Amino acid sequence: MVTNRFWAMKREPVMRRRISDLLRKEGSLTIPEIAEKLDASPEEVTLWVLGMWRYGLIEEEGRKTPEGYSRFALKEAS
């Protein structure tokens, strides 16, 4: 378990940058779309996206896909 925590801490800046760059380029995306474009598992992307959402780096858009997925976008600087 400790190994996983250190792995996550080491990987956080990389994944945060990759997700931010992708959302900047593509606009709003769902977690499955982000996972597919980054060649990562949806479970892993969920952890990073929810962390970024919690800390106000990205925001959930009001509209959902027909499948019920939320769309996430970079939060605009105020």
**How many domains would you assign to the chain?**
1
For the domain that residue 23 is a member of, what is the CATH number? 1.10.10.10
pLDDT tens, position by position, 9-37: 677 889 999 999 999 999 999 999 999 99
Q: Which residue range forms the structural domain that includes residue 70? A: 2-74
**Phi, psi of 68, rounded to the nearest 5 degrees:** 95, 10
Cα separation values, 39 from 9, 22, 61, Å: 20, 12, 23
pTM of the model: 0.84
pLDDT at position 4 is: 65
Percent of the chain with pLDDT over 70: 86
C-alpha span between 50 and 48 (Å, rounded) = 6
Q: Nearest CA to 38 among 26, 56, 50?
A: 26
pLDDT at position 63 is: 84
pLDDT tier at 1, thresholds 50, 70, 90: very low
